[in-house]
Amino acid sequence: MRGGLKRPLRPWFASVVAAGSLALTVSSAAARDPGGSSLQKAIDRVLDRPAFAPGFWAVEVRSLRTGRILYARNADKNMKPASTTKLVTTAAALDAFGPDDRLRTTVETAGRLDGMGRVLSDVYLVGRGDPNLSGRFTDGRITAAFEDLADALKAQGVRRIEGRLVGHEGLFRGDRRGDDWAWGDLVWWYGAEVSALGFNDNSADLKVTPGERAGDPVLVERNPVSSYYRLVSTATTSPAAMTSDLRVDRPLGSNLIRISGTFPVGLKPWENSVALEDPARYAATVFAEVLAAKGMVVAGAVETSSDPMPGGLRVLAAHDGPPLSEVLKGVNKPSQNLHAEMLLRLLGARLKGDGTVESGHAAVEEFLLRSGVHPERWSLQDGSGLSRSDILSAHEMVSLLAAMDRHRYAAVFRDSLPIAGVDGTLKNRMKGTPAEGRVVAKTGSLRHVNALGGYVTPRSGDRLVFYMVSNHNPGPGSEVTGAMDEICNLLVGR
């Protein structure tokens, strides 16, 4: 006891005093943090389950009203964040560009349009980082933006392009893929190459349906139907009682998609999207095909360029993408890697004059420092969290989330996050529990990595900010996410 005592207390009296002091301490803490001790114990019981013993947890929960930390475990330790990295990228983009910013794609030329409807030079399809040249905002019409551009050209009397059609992607530079992405990721939509000019998430959408009877070829639907890539299927339909061994692959360096194996009668169709190589060429090729379908011929080759644009260009047609507020929803709710990577490079291009990952991270670091976060304690290699080398701490992530809750665009940021039991990657989590609709948070998952960070509105009304991440737990990911959902329900009931 501080200051000591002149003579020792009798043991029974000492016990009463100690108990009284403890009671006063707990009572005082409870006044500031009602149920705080019970909350800590309840969370500990979840995290200390034997199933989680081989791995590591990092958790922090903080009151947004008082700033008080209500729970912390390993909060200063760096952990792999997976897709919760997108919280960092989207926060920085929102701060820099504002919710109403739109990204413009243009068709430009330096050539003359003659009286016969011919453009007497090359035509450039210029990408400026719009990640939504797709059917996301057009009821699934993936070529809608290109159709609008083509209609604008036709309205001006364009009938033929005598030169080349060039897909220009010079706004972004450097590697098209993130550092330390896994080889297995690169075939699928979530590992697609990054370019300032892309189309349909730089992927081809596939749907495979079994035939009517065993031995029949499977039915394969693809979108878009384009000459840019080839699809070869040798897959057949198997009896209903058999297990599917359908295989889909695309050799790296090619745009040949191969489907093989068997697919049982009556099984629900398989749907996925396969990433394609060289996104700008893909976009330009599909645009040329749209032009041809509308009666406009491209006489020259379809090519791509990252070189400085030639002088004397004028805009023939333009397409504005959705506002950034909608772009952010397209990143955070479904956890779209490509869009996050494009935003990172766009931060570099606009704020640093250099559309690289490195310049994007420099811009993000300046934003974090202004927000009271300490990025020097982190190491991020990409903008999406697909890199296995990303590391950050729960404490600094909570600091970022708390700062964004005070941000002038706080509501826009929160609205971009999945809602428990309602939409995005949380649509099927916490459904039918007290946490449904009361938790908005970004998920993250890689092999042996699960994370969740965002905001909780408890029944008490005292809003909370939290971040929790599990690394190296070898059990099913569903056990880890289930534990996270339990903790969210504990926070709601606080």
Which residue has tokens 């209500």? 70
| Torsion on CA atoms 63, 64, 68, 73, rounded to nearest 10 | 60
Q: What integer pLDDT is reported at residue 9 of this predicted model?
A: 30
- Would you call 445 a catalytic residue per the annotation? no
Strand partners, 443: 452
What's the alpha-carbon Rg for the chain, to the nearest Å?
27
244 contact partners, CB below 8 Å, separation of at least 6: 238, 261, 262, 263, 264, 267, 270
Domain spans of the chain, in order of start:
34-98+325-492, 103-322
Contact 366, 354 (CB under 8 A): no
Q: What integer pLDDT is reported at residue 36 of this predicted model?
A: 60
What is the rounded CA–CA span in Å between residue 34 and residue 21? 18
Which residue has tokens 């909060």? 75
Q: How confident is the model at residue 4 (pLDDT cuts 50, 70, 90)?
A: very low
103-322 is classed CATH 3.30.1340.30: no
What is the rounded CA–CA span in Å between residue 285 and residue 351? 31
Q: How confident is the model at residue 329 (pLDDT cuts 50, 70, 90)?
A: very high
Q: What integer pLDDT is reported at residue 112 of this predicted model?
A: 96
Helix (H, G, I), strand (E, B) or coil at 411: helix
Q: What integer pLDDT is reported at residue 125 of this predicted model?
A: 98
Q: What integer pLDDT is reported at residue 32 of this predicted model?
A: 37
CB atoms under 10 Å from CB of 313, counted, come to 18
Q: How confident is the model at residue 303 (pLDDT cuts 50, 70, 90)?
A: very high
Strand partners, 222: 206
What is the rounded CA–CA span in Å between residue 108 and residue 27? 71
Q: Point out the catalytic residue in the list 83, 233, 305, 387.
A: 83
Q: Point out the catalytic residue in the list 305, 325, 335, 416.
A: 335
Of the chain, the end-to-end C-alpha distance in Å amounts to 33
Helix (H, G, I), strand (E, B) or coil at 421: coil
Q: What integer pLDDT is reported at residue 37 of this predicted model?
A: 84
436 contact partners, CB below 8 Å, separation of at least 6: 420, 421, 422, 430
Q: pLDDT tens digits, residue range 221-269?
A: 999 999 999 999 999 999 998 999 999 999 999 999 999 999 999 999 9
Q: Is the pLDDT of residue 13 over 80?
A: no
Q: What integer pLDDT is reported at residue 28 of this predicted model?
A: 30
Q: pLDDT tens digits, residue range 141-155?
A: 999 999 999 999 999
The DSSP string of 199-232 is: SGGGEEEEEEE--SSTTSBPEEEEES--TTSEEE
Q: How confident is the model at residue 494 (pLDDT cuts 50, 70, 90)?
A: confident
Q: Is the pLDDT of residue 439 over 50?
A: yes
261 contact partners, CB below 8 Å, separation of at least 6: 235, 244, 245, 246, 247
Residue 355's identity, in one-letter code, is G
Phi, psi (degrees; rounded to nearest 5) at 11: -55, -45
Helix (H, G, I), strand (E, B) or coil at 57: strand
Q: pLDDT tens digits, residue range 26-62?
A: 223 333 344 468 999 999 999 999 999 999 999 999 9
- Would you call 86 a catalytic residue per the annotation? yes
Rounded average pLDDT over 85-110: 98
- Would you call 393 a catalytic residue per the annotation? no
34-98+325-492 is classed CATH 1.10.540.10: no
Which residue has tokens 């198997």? 238
Q: What integer pLDDT is reported at residue 371 of this predicted model?
A: 97
Per-chain mean pLDDT for the chain: 92
Strand partners, 493: none
Scored b (16 or more CB within 10 A) or e, 186-208 reads bbbbbbbbbbbbbbbbbbbbbeb
The reported pTM is 0.91
What is the rounded CA–CA span in Å between residue 201 and residue 275? 8
Q: Point out the catalytic residue in the list 86, 329, 333, 442.
A: 86
172 contact partners, CB below 8 Å, separation of at least 6: 129, 194, 195, 196, 342, 345, 346, 349, 355, 356
Q: Is the pLDDT of residue 206 over 60?
A: yes
Contact 106, 166 (CB under 8 A): no
Rounded average pLDDT over 77-95: 98
Q: What integer pLDDT is reported at residue 197 of this predicted model?
A: 98
